[in-house]
A and B are shown apart, each in its own frame.
Chain A
Amino acid sequence: MEGRPTDGELFARAQRGNQAAYEEIVQRYQQVAFRTAYVITGSAAEAEDAAQEGFVKAYRALSTFRPGAEPRPWLLRIVANEARNRVRSAGRRHQLELRVAERFRPGDAAPSPEAAAVAAEDHTWLLGLVNELSEEDRLVISSRYLLELSGEETAAALGIPEGTVKSRLSRALDRLRRRIEEGARA
């Protein structure tokens, strides 16, 4: 389809010292890196600093990137480490409050405002339950589903072995399902 360079080509160029290529890498990955850091720190300002610092450190460590490896887990591991270090040095993490976007505003010429409102309320309710989970459960569910990270990327972001992601995720989902059931009965 389009002839834009692949991630692998950009990494190869960056490893040869091409800073414009690295800028393009940051462009491609800044959103997932920032959001990952946000889920970990609970603060947009901290996440911004962690992501920026992480990208700078990753650049300095480019010689350790193995050609042909997946760049996303590699970058996310560095950014997530930076985010965790910030939480640790601050001695506390901010209370993360993920919110549902308000896409349907009153007064809009929506074809079915009622249906839109029901959909938004359902998301808000489910997200509220995710926010209330323990930090460990919330982090693994947020990484896997809300950030859409792969198993390998989730492991990198959480700093745990990939094999642990699966069991931790399964337990977290069980607990979330129980909360949904309790909420539905209430």
Chain B
Amino acid sequence: MPDAADLEQRLVLLQAEIDWPATPALAARVRARIATPSAAPRPWFQNRWALAAAAVLVVLAALVAYTPSRDAIASWINIHTIFTRVNQLPTPSPLPSGPLGKRLGLGDPTTLDQAQSKLSWHVVVPASLGRPDEVYLQLPPLGPPQGEVTLVYKSRPGLKASGQTGVAVLVTEANGRVDTQFFGKMLGNGTTLEEVTVNGHKGYWIGGQPHVFFFIDADGKFRDETLRLATNTLLIDDNGTVVRIEGDLTKTQALEIAASLS
């Protein structure tokens, strides 16, 4: 029999994989209802979304009982990221040569102010690291619908350059609807995944052996050219903005950086 903690973890991870019916946009309708003391009954056609959702439900094949693999987990939890546990990591794509932005698929070099002027959401900066040495902006199709910003920090006392990226810390930020996912993480057996909370924001700490990172485009497809190895990473959901802090960091260092975001 699986132990209780194991089952609980599997259920927690299962929740992210549920194919919920689309949440109807209730806010405007409720607003309309409370603005008028006695609202008319809702017209039938406002239920059309339900019909559409029913029409696109995927018909699953008959379930066959089998011994589930404990390593087979996949999840995204409010951080626009799918986690997949695999026994063997796929071979990363060869990194393109050239400047850092191109090599790691970070987008075009820019400045903090220029990047902020092109985005509808607020870019946060870790006060503990100060102004970034470089800033990159990635827009669709190779960036999420609302763009992605990466702050680059080169090595400094206490923070050495990572063998995977060549820089000390990458802070990547992207914003989107809660139910959209654009990042993927494949974790091997030597990588740990741990839930953390920073300033009340939920997140995950990925430690141990390097894991594989990839990007999922607007059509829900993997962009295999973005598949690369990543070292220790902290993911935090900051009010709908996922902040990814990556480097050869200890968990304490990463949490300190995250706690100083503003």
Contact = CB atoms under 8 A, between A and B. Distances in A.
Interface of A: 1-2, 4, 19-20, 22-24, 26-27, 30-31, 33-35, 38, 44-45, 47-48, 51-52, 55-56, 59-60, 98-103, 105, 108-112, 115-116, 118-128, 130, 141, 145-148, 173, 176-178, 180-181, 183-184, 186
Q: Is the interface of A mostly helix, strand, loop or mixed?
A: helix
B47 A147 contact: no
B163 to A, nearest CB: 21
A183 B65 CA distance: 6
Contacts of A45: 47, 50
A43 to B, nearest CB: 9
Contacts of A48: 24, 26, 47, 50
Contacts of B4: 173, 177
B118 interface: no
A56 B239 contact: no
B86 to A, nearest CB: 4
Contacts of B54: 44
A115 B74 CA distance: 10
Interface string B70-91: 0011100000001011111010
Nearest to A174: B4
User: Residue among A27, A112, A126, A177 with the most chain B CB within 10 A?
Assistant: A112
B222 A110 contact: yes
Interface string B190-221: 00000000010100000000001010000011
B26 A34 contact: yes
A56 B30 contact: yes
B103 interface: no
Interface residues of B, number: 72
Contacts of A23: 27-28, 30-31
19 contacts: A19-B34, A30-B23, A30-B25, A33-B26, A52-B29, A52-B30, A52-B33, A59-B30, A99-B60, A111-B90, A111-B212, A112-B84, A115-B87, A119-B73, A126-B11, A145-B11, A177-B4, A178-B1, A181-B2
B192 to A, nearest CB: 18
Nearest to B92: A111
Nearest to B224: A109
Interface stretch (B14-22, B108-116, B147-155, B244-252): B14-22
Given A34-B26, A99-B57, A126-B10, A109 B63 contact: no
A111 B87 CA distance: 13
B262 interface: yes
